[in-house]
Amino acid sequence: MNLRKLQMKEINRQFWAQQSITNSSMLGGYDQINNVDIQQSEQFLLRNIKQFNTILELGSGVGRISEQLFIKHFKEIHLVEREAKFINESKRRLNQFNCLYYQMPVEQFEPKNYFDCIWIQWISMYLTDSDFCNMLQKFKKYPIILKENVSTQDYQFDDEDASITRSEKIYEILIKKCGFKIVDEEFQQGLPTDIYKIKLYFLKHLEF
Ligand SMILES: C[S@@+](CC[C@H](N)C(=O)[O-])C[C@H]1O[C@@H](n2cnc3c(N)ncnc32)[C@H](O)[C@@H]1O
């Protein structure tokens, strides 16, 4: 791994290690978008996913989405998250439910089960283009919902958390390069005007 990439990963790891164990930190302090986020995610999920046994979330944080959405529809939830304190909080919130936890970077996770949906929200921005593609390739057998901030510039870097916000054009190029097609897409509605637009994509690999 090159030095710049290592430095970016370390900045990002330290950033999350310092964040509070709250929904608010998952939302970048924009607590007011939680409800619209969950409501529109539910509509998008129910429109596109056909089976509701098992879901996997990558970069699951404190279990914000599981607690408000996935437990309503899925029998089993698998959560991948690097920070131990967020995994512990998820365990506390979801202790009544059938959940499996993987405390590790998403880059190291290897799927062993079948999942009816892979949920990837606000984690792609912490991955390089090649890590993003490697991640998608690992899940080519599965239906994927990708929810992510999009910028008007091709790439916008933020030194504070070492995030990369990409344009829709760049995401479309990467998605196609990895052999996936965009089956459904829409913008998140009801957002304040001073934040990035957020896009939802439903992806399927061309071979499946
Ligand atoms: C913006 S929060 C989003 C959490 C959740 N998806 C949500 O919407 O509530 C990003 C999360 O990704 C985690 N994260 C960042 N880079 C990661 C990586 N490489 N592997 C696993 N988790 C990572 C952070 O610790 C943090 O919990």
pLDDT digits (tens, 9 = 90+) for 14-66: 999 999 999 999 999 999 999 999 999 999 999 999 999 999 999 999 999 99
What pLDDT was estimated at residue 2? 82
Strand pairing category for 76-81 and 117-121: unpaired
Domain definitions of the chain by residue range: 3-18+32-205
Long-range contacts of 135-140 (CB under 8 A, 24+ apart): 135/58, 135/106, 135/107, 136/174, 136/175, 136/178, 136/180, 136/203, 137/178, 137/179, 138/109, 138/110, 138/111, 139/111, 139/115, 140/178, 140/179, 140/180, 140/205, 140/207, 140/208
pTM for this structure? 0.98
What is the structure's pLDDT at 1? 66
Contact 167, 151 (CB under 8 A): yes
Residue of 16, 87, 107, 118 to test ligand 1 pocket, by largest number of atoms within 8 Å of CB:
16
pLDDT at 197: 98
What is the widest separation between alpha-carbon atoms in the chain? 43
Task: Kindly report the average pLDDT of the chain as a whole number.
Answer: 97
Q: How far is the CA of 169 from the centre of ligand 1 (A)?
A: 23
**Does the Cβ of 147 fall within 6 Å of ligand 1?**
no
Q: Tell me what the mean pLDDT of segment 120-127 comes to.
A: 98
Asked if residue 166 has its Cβ within 6 Å of ligand 1, the reply is no
From 2.115.10.20, 2.60.40.3950, 3.40.50.150, 3.40.190.290, which CATH number describes the 3-18+32-205 domain?
3.40.50.150
Rounded Cα distance between 135 and 178, Å, is: 10
CB 139 within 8 A of CB 74: no
Question: Region 140-167: what's the mean pLDDT?
Answer: 97
Q: 34 C-alpha vs ligand 1 centroid, how far in Å?
A: 16
* Burial class of 173 by CB neighbour count within 10 A (0 to 12, 13 to 18, 19+): middle
